[in-house]
Amino acid sequence: MGRIVLPRHATPFHLTLALDPRDGRQASQLAAALVRAIAEGQLHDGDPLPSTRSLARHLGLARSAVVAAYEELSAAGFLVATAGSATRVGPGARSASLAGAYTHPTEAEPQSAGAEGTAHPIRLDLRPGHPDPGLIDDRDWARAWRRAAAAPLQPPADAVTALRPGFGHSFHEPLRRALAEHLRRNRAVVCDAADVFLFPGVNAALRALVGLVGEPDRAIAFEEPGYSTGRRALESSGARVRPIPVDAEGLRVDDLGDEWGCYVTPAHQYPLGSRMSVARRAALLDWATAHDALILEDDYDGEFRYDVAPMPSLHSMNAGAERVIYLGTASKMLARELRVAWVVLPRRLREPMQDFLARTGDSVNPVAAAALAEFVDSGALVRQLARAQRGYAARRSRFTEACRDLLPGLVLQGIEAGLHVVLRLPAGIDDRALRDRLLVDGLACQALSDYWLGDPGAGESKSGGLVCGYARLPETRAREAAALIAAALARIQAEPGAPPA
Amino acid sequence: MGRIVLPRHATPFHLTLALDPRDGRQASQLAAALVRAIAEGQLHDGDPLPSTRSLARHLGLARSAVVAAYEELSAAGFLVATAGSATRVGPGARSASLAGAYTHPTEAEPQSAGAEGTAHPIRLDLRPGHPDPGLIDDRDWARAWRRAAAAPLQPPADAVTALRPGFGHSFHEPLRRALAEHLRRNRAVVCDAADVFLFPGVNAALRALVGLVGEPDRAIAFEEPGYSTGRRALESSGARVRPIPVDAEGLRVDDLGDEWGCYVTPAHQYPLGSRMSVARRAALLDWATAHDALILEDDYDGEFRYDVAPMPSLHSMNAGAERVIYLGTASKMLARELRVAWVVLPRRLREPMQDFLARTGDSVNPVAAAALAEFVDSGALVRQLARAQRGYAARRSRFTEACRDLLPGLVLQGIEAGLHVVLRLPAGIDDRALRDRLLVDGLACQALSDYWLGDPGAGESKSGGLVCGYARLPETRAREAAALIAAALARIQAEPGAPPA
C-alpha cells in the first residue's frame, strides 16, 4: 500500500491518500482511499477536493479513473458535485463512512465458462422451433419498428381502472384488432378484438391460463410426447399434468378422463408432426363438451403446410368457440424477437381474463406490439408468410429427399406441415447418444426421447428419433446434414454391443 | 333467407346459395352458405367455384366479401386456392362439413364499455408512477429503436444449453454490460454484467425472486404502507407477506423478525416518500446478516432527488453486495414502454438464477433491450436523466408551493426525492372519498389508504392522504390542481357529520 502525499486544492495542508491495489482497478482504489480519508477525518464535510486533473497528475493515474471515482462517490452520497465549482465532501459523509456505508468494490471475475466451455461450433443447426430470420424483409422489419417508435408514447391507462394501485394493464387495441382480422382470414378463427389477449410468449399465456381457468382438483391432459417447455410452464403454475399418448391421428381422445383441460397441437403435433384427423378433432370437442373441459389449441406453426389441404382449426369447428382456447405466436411466423403471443378466449372468459391480467400486470412490450400491428396491417406479414412458406417447402423437400437417399431404412414423420421432421431411429439406438455425437460433429438437433414425460419405451412409439428443424438448413447443405447423421448412426451401430443394423 | 340461383363457372348446371343474414356480415353469410352447399352435396370435392368477380356480381355482394369468404374457407380447409386456376372444393370438405367442422361466425358485439364507461375526462393527471414521456428526446428515442431494429436478428442460443428442450433463454449481454456500467457510475452499485438479470418488469422480477430464493416456511417483510402491486406479485407467487410499519426514517427494523427477506424502497419510500436514514440502513443490513436474510432494495426512482445529497444505496454499503438484491427499472427513468427492469444479485445467486431463468423461459423483448442498451451506451440516458431531473424539480417546486399556499394546514411528505408527494389529510377525512370526488372534477390521484395491507388507522400514520405524482403536471397548472383539491376538501368538511376542519 503506497502512501502518496499531495497538496490540497487551494489549501495549505496536505492530503494523504493510500491507494491499495487490492481495491481493484484504479478508480476503485482511489474511491476506497477517499472514503478512508473521510473516515479518518482528513477530509471533512464540505471540504473541496482537488480537481480531477490535478489529482490524476499527482497520483499518476488516468484522469478518467479519477472522474470515475468521483462519480461513484457522488452517486453514493460521499461527494457532492456542483456545476462550476469544486467537488466537495457531502454532508454526513463522515458518519456514513464510519457506519460502513461503502464496500470497496472487487474486480470483476472473468466470466465463468460454464456449460458454454464445452460447446462445439455448430455448422448445421437443425434445432427445431427457430424460424429463419433471414427470410424477413429487412425493410419491412425496420419500417415496422421505426413506425412503432415514432408513435406517441402511450398515455397511462384510463383513470378508473388505475384508481386501485396495480390496475392499468395495457391491452394494445391496434394489435388485438389486427390479429383478430388476420386470424379470421388466415386461420378461420373468428373472434372479436376483445377476445384476443396478448402475452410475451406462449409459456406466459399457459401460466396465465392455469391461473384463470385451471382447477386444482383436476389434471390437465397433455400430449405424450409433447412440447416439454409448455408442459413445464403449466407445472410451474401448479397444474397437475397427465400425459396422454399420441398416435398417427393425434392425441388419443379415448384415453382422456375427467381433466379440466387438454393441451394439443393439432396442426402439427409437437414433436411428432402428425396432423390431427377431422374425426379426432370432432371427438376431442365432444369430450370437452361432455366433461365441461377446455381445449388449449396451440397453433404454433399452423401457417406452414406442404402439398396438403389445410384442416380446420378446432376453434372453427362446432362448439369450438365455446370450448377452445386458441394460442398462437409471432415466434414461428415471423421472429422470436417480437416476443408476442396471443390467446383467443371463449367470450365468457373475456372479462375474467381482463381482471386477471390487470391484477398480474404482465403484458407485451407495447413498441413490439405496435411493430407487429404495423406488420399485419401493412400486409407485410402475409407477404412474409408466403415467402417463408416457399422457402421452407424447398428446404423440407431437399432435406427429406436427402434423408431418403442416405438413410433409406428410416421413417420420416411429420413432413406434411410445420418446420421440423422426426427421423425415427432403428430400435435400440439411444437417440440422446446419437444427438450428442452429432453435436461433436457440428450438427445440432434434438432427441425425441426428451419430449416424453414418462418412459418413451413404454409407449406405442418405442424407438427413439431425431427431431430436425429444417427452417434454417440451406438446400445446398441438406445432403451434408443427412450424410453426417448417416455416418454417426453407422458408427454407433458398428460398436460392440450395438443392436443389429 | 333469400335463395339465389346462379350459373356455375364453366359448367351447365346451377348452384343454389342461401344467404342468411343471421350469419353476420356478407362474407360470413356467403361462407356459411357455401359450407351448407358442400354439406348438401351441391358442391363436391374438387369442384371449381365461380370466380370471385362473377360470384360477387351474381349475388350482388362486394367482391371483397367474396374474397374474404373464400379466404376464410381456404384457411379452414373447405376450399383450395391454386395460383392460376380456379378455387376448388378441398378434399374431404364434405365429410368435414357434415362433421360440423364449421361454426358460422357471429357478428362482433360492440365492445362492452366496462369500467371505462364511467370514466371522467382527466384534465389533471396526478397518478403516481408515470414519468412524463414528453421529456424524452424524440430523436434519441427513434434512433435507439432504429438501431435496435437494424441489428441482425438474434441467432438461437448456444447449442449446449439448448440441447435440453426449454433451455435457450436469452440474457442480452450488451444491455447487461451497459447497465452494470451505468449502475456503477450513477448509483454506486458495483457489479459484473453477469450479476445483472433482466426482466420485463419489476413485478416479474419479484415473482422470479420468490421462486429462486423464497422460503416457504418464513415470511417476507414488506413496507406498510407499501408498493401494493409488488406486494401482490410476491403473494401471487406463494410468498407470505408480513407488513412492517414505516416511520420517518424508513422501515422500522426493530419490528423485523425471522423473515427470509425484506422488501424496501430506501431512496424514496413508496408511497410515503421518506428516505431511509443511514443508521436505519446499517441496522437493516445487520438484521439481514444476523438472520441470513436478503434485502430486496427497489430503487424504482432513485435517480431523482432535489436539494439534498444522495444517500448510499444499500447495495453499496458494507455487506450489501452479499445481502442486497438491487432492483431497478427503465419505467421511471425513461418510459414504461421499454418494459425492462433489472436485478443485481449477490454473486452466489448468479448460477442459480441462470438456471432458473432458463427453465422458466421469461425474458425481456430483445429489441427493447437493444434499444435501451443503445440509449445507455450513446449517453442519451444520462442526458435524459439530467433533463428529467430539471423538469421534475421545477414541477415539484411549483406544486408543493401551490399546496402550501392553498392547503396551508396540510403536511406534505416525500418532497425530497422521487416523482410524487403525499398530501396528508386532516384526521377523519376519508381519502378514498376525496379521491373519488376529485376524479369527478377531472383530477386523478391516489388514496394513501390503498397502500396499506392492514388497517391504516392502526398504524402510526393514522390520517389518510392523497398520493400525487407531479411528473406530468405542467408548472402552469400546479395552482389549479391545488385549488381543486382545496375546494373538494372544503366541500367534504362542510358536510354534516364531517370532522371539524
pLDDT digits (tens, 9 = 90+) for A74-113: 877 788 876 667 788 887 777 777 766 665 443 333 333 3
What sign results for the dihedral spanned by CA atoms A126, A127, A130, A133? negative
pLDDT band at A375 (very low <50, low <70, confident <90, very high): very high
Chain A hits for B161, CB-CB cut-off 8 Å, are 115-116
Residue A1 amino acid letter: M
Chain B hits for A446, CB-CB cut-off 8 Å, are 163, 165
Average pLDDT over residues B17-28: 77
- Phi then psi for residue A392, to 5 deg, are -70, -35
Q: Which residues are A342's β-sheet partners?
A: A198, A328
Question: Closest Cα of chain B to A469: distance in Å?
Answer: 12
Question: Out of A136, A278, A309, whose CB is closest to B153?
Answer: A136
CA distance B412 to B408: 10
Is the CB of residue B425 less than 8 Å from the CB of residue B434? yes
Give the CA dihedral B305, B311, B314, B320, nearest 10 degrees.
Answer: 140
Instruction: Report the candidate in A335, A431, A445, A435 with the shortest Cα–Cα distance to residue A399.
Output: A445
Chain-chain contact of A439 with B159 (C-beta, under 8 angstroms): yes
Average pLDDT over residues A18-30: 78
Selected residue of B34, B337, B438, B473 to mutate for chain A interface (largest A Cβ count, 10 A): B337
**Listed range (A171-175, A253-257, A407-411, B51-55) with the worst mean pLDDT:** B51-55
CA distance A13 to A297: 78
Q: What is the mean pLDDT of chain A?
A: 84
Is the CB of residue B58 less than 8 Å from the CB of residue B6? yes
Per-residue model confidence as pLDDT tens digits over A193-203: 999 999 988 98
Selected residue of A23, A72, A375 to mutate for chain B interface (largest B Cβ count, 10 A): A72
Question: Which residue in chain B has the smallest CA separation from A170?
Answer: B337
Chain A hits for B100, CB-CB cut-off 8 Å, are 282, 317-319
Chain-chain contact of A146 with B142 (C-beta, under 8 angstroms): yes
Chain-chain contact of A278 with B312 (C-beta, under 8 angstroms): no
Chain B hits for A112, CB-CB cut-off 8 Å, are 194, 351
Average pLDDT over residues A182-193: 90
Question: Out of A150, A187, A228, whose CB is closest to B166?
Answer: A228
Q: What is the CATH number of domain A162-380?
A: 3.40.640.10
Chain-chain contact of A278 with B96 (C-beta, under 8 angstroms): yes
What ranges make up the beta strands (E) of B307-401?
324-329, 341-344
Question: Which residue in chain A has the smallest CA separation from B162?
Answer: A127
Is the CB of residue A396 less than 8 Å from the CB of residue A104? no
Chain-chain contact of A80 with B161 (C-beta, under 8 angstroms): no
* Residue A428: alpha-carbon gap to chain centroid: 34
Average pLDDT over residues A486-494: 93
Q: Looking at the domain A2-98, which fold is it?
A: Arc Repressor Mutant, subunit A (1.10.10)
Q: b/e string for A280-311 if b means 16 or more Cβ within 10 A?
A: bbbbbbebbeebebbbbbbbbbbbbbeeebbb
Q: Strand A124-125 relative to strand A443-444: parallel, antiparallel, unpaired?
A: parallel
Chain-chain contact of B90 with A309 (C-beta, under 8 angstroms): yes
Angle between helices A366-377 and A138-150 (to 10 degrees): 130
CA distance B92 to A311: 9
Question: Closest Cα of chain A to B499: distance in Å?
Answer: 25
ipTM above 0.90? no
Question: Which residue in chain A has the smallest CA separation from B140?
Answer: A149
User: A235: buried, middle or exposed (CB in 10 Å: 19+, 13-18, 0-12)?
Assistant: middle
**Listed range (A427-441, B163-177, B271-285) with the worst mean pLDDT:** B163-177
B426 preceded by cis ω (within 30°)? no
A500 preceded by cis ω (within 30°)? no
3-class state of residue B420 by DSSP: strand
3-class state of residue A286 by DSSP: helix
Matching fold, domains A2-98 and A162-380:
no
Residue whose C-alpha cell is 416456511: B217
Q: What is the number of alpha carbons within 13 Å of residue B336 lying toward its C-beta?
A: 19
Residue whose C-alpha cell is 482511489: A30
Q: Which residues are A15's β-sheet partners?
A: A6
Ordered by start, the domain boundaries in chain A are 2-98, 162-380
What confidence score (pLDDT) does residue A160 get?
A: 52
Per-residue model confidence as pLDDT tens digits over B149-189: 988 776 666 555 544 444 445 578 899 999 999 998 888 89
Residue A460 has pLDDT above 80, yes or no: no
Chain-chain contact of A316 with B103 (C-beta, under 8 angstroms): yes
Question: Which residue in chain B has the smallest CA separation from A24?
Answer: B190
Question: Which residue in chain A has the smallest CA separation from B192?
Answer: A108
Q: Which residues are A447's β-sheet partners?
A: A466
Chain-chain contact of B133 with A122 (C-beta, under 8 angstroms): no
Residue A170 has pLDDT above 80, yes or no: no
Chain A hits for B354, CB-CB cut-off 8 Å, are 114
Per-residue model confidence as pLDDT tens digits over A377-414: 999 999 999 999 999 999 999 999 999 999 998 999 99
3-class state of residue B275 by DSSP: coil
Residue A169 has pLDDT above 60, yes or no: no
Is the CB of residue A279 less than 8 Å from the CB of residue A155? no
Q: Which one is the CATH code of B382-494: 3.40.50.300, 3.40.50.11540, 3.40.1710.10, 3.90.1150.10?
A: 3.90.1150.10
CA distance A407 to A434: 14
As a whole number of Å, the CA-based R_g of chain A is: 31
What confidence score (pLDDT) does residue A497 get?
A: 72
3-class state of residue B403 by DSSP: helix
Chain-chain contact of A73 with B188 (C-beta, under 8 angstroms): yes
What confidence score (pLDDT) does residue B20 get?
A: 77
Instruction: Report the candidate in A186, A185, A183, A204 with the shortest Cα–Cα distance to residue A195.
Output: A183
- Phi then psi for residue A134, to 5 deg, are -65, -15
Is the CB of residue A338 less than 8 Å from the CB of residue A368? yes
SS (H, E, C) A292-323: CCEEEEECCCCCCECCCCCCCCHHHCCCHHHH
CB neighbours of residue B459 within 10 Å: 15
3-class state of residue B80 by DSSP: strand
Residue B304 has pLDDT above 60, yes or no: yes
Please say whether the structural domain B158-380 has been given the CATH code 3.40.640.10: yes
What confidence score (pLDDT) does residue B69 get?
A: 85
Is the CB of residue B208 less than 8 Å from the CB of residue B362? yes
pLDDT band at A373 (very low <50, low <70, confident <90, very high): very high
Percentage of chain A lying above the pLDDT 90 cut: 49
Is the CB of residue B322 less than 8 Å from the CB of residue B292? no
Chain-chain contact of B71 with A363 (C-beta, under 8 angstroms): no
pLDDT band at B455 (very low <50, low <70, confident <90, very high): confident
More confident residue, B319 or B378: B378
Residue A500 has pLDDT above 90, yes or no: no
Instruction: Report the candidate in B396, B417, B409 with the shortest Cα–Cα distance to residue B472.
Output: B396
What single string gives the DSSP state of each residue in B433-481? HHHHHHHHTTEE-EEGGGG-SS-GGGSS--S-EEEEE-TT--GGGHHHH
What confidence score (pLDDT) does residue B122 get?
A: 85
Question: Closest Cα of chain A to B26: distance in Å?
Answer: 14
Residue B439 amino acid letter: L
Chain B hits for A311, CB-CB cut-off 8 Å, are 77, 96
